Every structure is written in structure tokens, then in C-alpha cells.
Structure 1
Amino acid sequence: MVSHEEIQHVAKLMRIELDDPSIYKRVDKMIGYFDILDSAGVESEEIFFTEISLANLREDEYIPFNEKLIEKLNHYKGTYVRAPKMV
């Protein structure tokens, strides 16, 4: 399906180092799954959707907010917002 050189070339373009030789088998297996999905034959399936005209959508309107939003936040200190510690 896909040669080792092609995988190495794409990995180089993506700036990914391929140290594990088993990665080639996994890429082949992944592409095999894509081939299965491509052959699923969903072209004849109907897609149902509701069409809404633009007249039925609400108008966008600008509502100005005159206060400073950052001052309304809890844990506001100076120009920073204090967030919880990451564990």
C-alpha cells in the first residue's frame, strides 16, 4: 500500500521522528481501515436536513457593553485573572 519511504517523507514534512519500526505496520493498518471506509458505498444514502430561509433567522445586533469585563471576573488581580492550579 504505502512504502516506508512515503511514510518517512510525510513524517519529515510533519516534523515527526519515527524511531519505532512498528509504526510502519500501524500506518498500513490505518490506511487499510480508510480503504474499508471508502468502499462502504454510502453514495446512495439520503441525507435529510431541514432547509431554513434567511428570512426566518434572527437579525444580528450589536449591544455595547460599557463596563470593563475583566473587572467583573472573580479572582481578578491587576491585569491578570487567577486560574485554578493544574494537577
Structure 2
Amino acid sequence: MVSEEEIELVSKLMRIDIDNHKEHVEKVHAMIDYFDILDSAGVESEEISMPEISISNLRKDEYIPFDDKLIEKLNHYKGTYVRAPKMSS
């Protein structure tokens, strides 16, 4: 499974400050346990059917110029950065 050292390494690589690595180890284990439950659902034999779409029914790709600077239109824009909401643990 995942160790505190691995969580610490990943947090350093992602440049995320984490005070309590042990807390995140437990969360990762819970996620892995949930994926194990999903894997055991036994849906390998289920067939997924998708309707066929003719290429002629697809829209034509075209370039549409955009003269404004998109980053300046964003909320919480500062310099060359966009502030994202804080993530709660």
C-alpha cells in the first residue's frame, strides 16, 4: 500500500505543503479500497453500445479568431496567475 514517505515525496513533487502525511495515507487507502470494490463489481462482460455517427454528421472544424486576452477575462486573475479556490481536507 501507500506509505507516508510516498505521500511526502508526491507532495514535494507537486509543491504542496502537507502537515500531516499520515492523514493523507489513510485517505489514499480509502480510495484504493473503493477502487477494489468497483473492480469486484463484475461488469467485464457488460457490453457498451454507442450509436454510430456518420462523419458527414459531424461539425466542420474552423478557426475563429479571438482578439481579447482570455486570461484577463478570468475571475481571480493576478499578473500571470489565476487563483483557484482553496482545497479543504
Larger radius of gyration: 1
- What TM-score does the superposition give when structure 2 sets the normalisation length? 0.54
Deviation of residue 38 (structure 1)? 2.5
Identity %: 60
The count of residues paired between Structure 1 and Structure 2 equals 69
The 5 A counterparts of 1:1-87 are 1-20=1-20, 21-59=22-60
Residue 41 of structure 2 aligns to which amino acid in structure 1?
A
Matched-pair contact (CA < 8 Å) for 2:7–2:24: no
Q: Whose relative contact order is higher, 1 or 2, with alpha carbons under 8 Å and at least 6 apart?
A: 2
Distance 1:16-1:50 versus aligned 2 partners, 3 A rule: same
Which blocks of at least 5 consecutive residues in structure 2 are unaligned? 76-89
- Quote the Cα distance in structure 1 between the aligned partners of 2:15 and 2:60: 46
Distance 1:10-1:39 versus aligned 2 partners, 3 A rule: farther
